[in-house]
Structure 1
Amino acid sequence: MEIAIIGLPQSGKTTVFSALTGIKVDQAARGDHSIGIVKVPDQRLPPLADLFKPHRVVPAEIAYIDYGAFVKGFGKAEAGLTPQFLSQLARADAIIHVVRVFQDDRVPHIEGSVDPKRDIASMDLELAFADMAFIERRLERMETSLKAAKPQEREAAHAEQQLLARMKDRLEDNVPVSEQELTLQERKLIENYQFITAHPMLNLLNYGEGQEAEAQA
């Protein structure tokens, strides 16, 4: 299982990555991402191993991937939303979005103020833009291929076009793919597409010391 960790600059996502994996990241030497693999403890394994006597006992593993921070600005290389980044993010099984709540004048927020609701909405919008752009490219390619399609193929393609157009409309209404009402047949039509907003996403609020009461509120 792969879990992507994303967030704006100075959100503390690399600190979260280190806490989850035990790996200290050298910010000066890091590349575009860091990977840490953690074995998942399972108390059921020892008794099952005693019962079935396997040659090897292999616990489940989670790979945490800490991607370089990016700023707002869909489609801009400096924002981190490059095609390569989006492709990597689409392959993740789940996403952790680290959201800054802590106050520290020594570490200025990229937007000039700390506002977790704004940052969550901004990130949701960026990821929705990525899925909408994918749908637009797919629809353009389908228009071209339909000209040479057979009648039976054309019927299936039209159904997919209608589905993708509807999904794009819902994304424009701030409804991620994961929350859209799709039939089993519709989900089968798009099962090979890796929509980013189809992934489970956890917004992890990163509070600072002394904010315990606020965090529990």
Structure 2
Amino acid sequence: MYTGIVHGAYTVTKIRRRPGLNSLSLTLPAVLLEGLDIGASVGIDGVCMTVTSIDGALVSFDAMQQTLSLTTLGDLEEGQYVNVERSAKQGAEIGGHLISGHVDATAELVAIEQPENNCTLRFKLPSDLMKYVFAKGFIGLHGCSLTVAELEKTSGIMSVCLIPETLRSTNLGRLGVGSRVNIEVDRQTQAIVDTVERVLAERELQG
């Protein structure tokens, strides 16, 4: 599990592409290397990844075909920045909302608005996830815990507002129109919606 407060955006140093598998290597700072072992879970752009090797500051992860197909990790190139978060420890402050690292889908950035000292990003959501997203609710974008500012139900456009610190410390400020981001809906909201739907369906069957 992750807190949704990423530690920073770091460069993809090397990508080794093999049939059905990409090995991603990142150069991480000392603060993220402390206590990091092979087998540990690390959030990479919101995707829960397992450390496969550590060579000094160079840390590697393997992304299987399903991960490459479902998330943006399959589109990465060397030199790009990814958001990184170590897994949450017991007793850690939850400054955002809990993120599992199991991405639901990707969403396309369709508009960027940047009035002075503000930034609003608008994304087109997949239709099957719309029922789990609400204005003022939580959403995970590239591993960042964010609040939904607005949601246009008819168009499926969701807006989030970013403060300067978020733009500085994550890769969201590097996105352009047409970029895709990994999205994870709030699991608590998803559980409530699915439970209500199931109960209503059972009542309807019972007459």
TM-score (norm 1): 0.26
Rg larger in structure: 1
Q: TM-score, normalised by structure 2?
A: 0.26
Greater fraction of residues in strand: 2
| More helix per residue | 1
